[in-house]
Amino acid sequence: MPSGELTTLLESEPAPQPVLVAESEPAVVARPPRFPAFDGLRAIAALTVVAVHTSFIAGLTPRNPAVGRYTGRLEIGVAVFFLISGFLLYRPFVVAHLSAAPKPRTGAFWLRRILRIVPAFWLVLFIETHVLHAGPGLGPGGWTANLWHFGFAQIYSPDHVTKGISAAWSLNVEMTFYLFVPLYAALIGWRRARRSLGAQLRVELYGLLAMVIVSFAWRLAILPFQNGHSAYFRLATTWLPAQLDLFALGMFLAVASAWLHHNRREFAVFAAWWFPWAAWALAGVCFWAVSNLGIPTVPLYHQSQLDIARQTLYGLFAFFLLLPAVFGPQRKGLIRRFLLSWPMASIGVISYGIYLWHEVWIYQLLKEGRFQLFNLEFWGYFLAVVVLAIGSATISYFVVEKPALRLKNSIAWWRRPSRTAASGVPEV
C-alpha cells in the first residue's frame, strides 16, 4: 500500500512497538487506543429509544403520519447499542488474535457482564412490577413469570415478551450475545499460532461474513410464517440469530480498528476534517431511507420481507454513526467534541439506567397525571420522562451500578503476567 495513503495512528496515543516474544516468555499486549466518544454515542442511543416510546404514547406518531414516519423509527437506537457492544466486547479478543497474546478469560468475561447488567436490571424490574405496580405487570404464571423476566428470557415466551420492562427484549438479546462472544472468539482463534497475520485477518472477516449470512438466512426462513402460524415464529425475529448482522458490523469495526492499530497506521482520510461530517451525513441518509420504506409505525406488527431492508438500514445508520468515534483524532472536530461534551458524556455514563427507568416513568406519569393516552403534548411528556429517567438513573448508577463496576473491575480481564499492559477499552 502506498505510504501516502496512510498516517500514523491517533496522535493522543503513543505508537506501540512491535512485540517480539521469546518462546519462553508470555506475550505483552500493547495498550490499545481509547474511544472517549462512545459515551456520547450511548447518550444518542438512549435518548432515541425514549423518544420512540414517548412519541407513540403521546400520540404524535399515530396522529401525525408526516412526523410519525420518523419518530416511529427512532427505535434505531437499539441498533446503535448492538454495534457498540459488538465493537467494545469483541475488540480485546481480536487484539489477542492479531498479537498472539493471551485472550480474555471466558469466566471473567461472563462474570463481568453479569455484574454490569444484572444488578440494575433486577432493581428497576422489581420496583416497576412489585413496588409501583406500573405498566403491564409480569404476565401470567404466578411466580414462574418472575423467572421469565428476571432470567432475561421474556423474548422466548409469547405470554411474557411484552410484559415487565418491554424494552428489555434487547437485554435478552445482549445476554445471549455475551454467551456467544467468547465461544465465537475461541473458534476464530483456534490454531491461530499456525496462521500468518494475513491469514488470521481473513479468518476474522470470513467469520463475520458467516454471521451476516446466518442472520439473513434466519430471517428469510421465519418471515413467511408471521401470520397464521405459531407465535414463536414472531418471537424468533428478536432472537440473537436474527440480530447477528448488527453485532457483526460492530465486530467488523473492532477488527479494522485492531488491525490498523497493530500495524501502527491509519488511513489518512480518517484525519480529514470532513470525515465525521460525511459519515454522519450517510447515517442521516440511512435514517431518511428507512423512515420512508412504508413500514408500520406501531410498536408491534407482523414483520415482512421489507423488514430485512429496515434492519439493514438500521445497521448502516449505526455503522456510519460510530465511524468518527472509532477512527481519526478523537478530540478534533465539532462532531467529536459534541460527543465528548459534558452533557452527552454524562448522559452516556448513565444511559443504561435511562434505558431501564424510562418505561417506569412513562407508565407512572400516565397513571398519576390522569393523562389521556395518545393525546398528550409530546415535548412536555418527553422532557418530563427524560428528566425523571436521568434522576433515577443517576441514583441507581451511584447506589447500584458503580459499586458493581468496582467489583467488576477487580476481576482480571486478561490472563496475563504483571508486565502486560492494561486494555484501555471503555466500559460497555
Q: How many domains does the chain have?
A: 1
Residue 234 included in any domain: yes
The pLDDT assigned to 427 comes to 52
pLDDT in tens, 179-211: 999 999 999 998 888 888 899 999 999 999 999
C-alpha distances out from residue 315 to 181, 203, 248, 255, Å: 19, 22, 9, 17
Residue 201 included in any domain: yes
Residue 340 included in any domain: yes
Confidence of residue 99 (pLDDT cuts 50, 70, 90): confident
Q: Give the length of the chain.
A: 428
- d(CA 62, CA 57) in angstroms, rounded, equals 9
Q: Could you tell me the residue range of the domain that residue 317 belongs to?
A: 35-387
Residue 377 included in any domain: yes
Residue 425 included in any domain: no
Q: Report the candidate in 168, 33, 9 with the shortest Cα–Cα distance to residue 88.
A: 33
Whose cell is 411528556? That residue is: 381
Mean pLDDT, the chain, rounded, equals 88
Please check whether residue 226 is in contact with residue 302, taking contact to mean a CB–CB distance below 8 angstroms: yes
pLDDT in tens, 5-43: 333 333 333 333 333 333 333 444 456 678 999 999 999
Residue 29 included in any domain: no
Residue 13 included in any domain: no
Residue 45 grid coordinates: 442511543
Residue 396 included in any domain: no
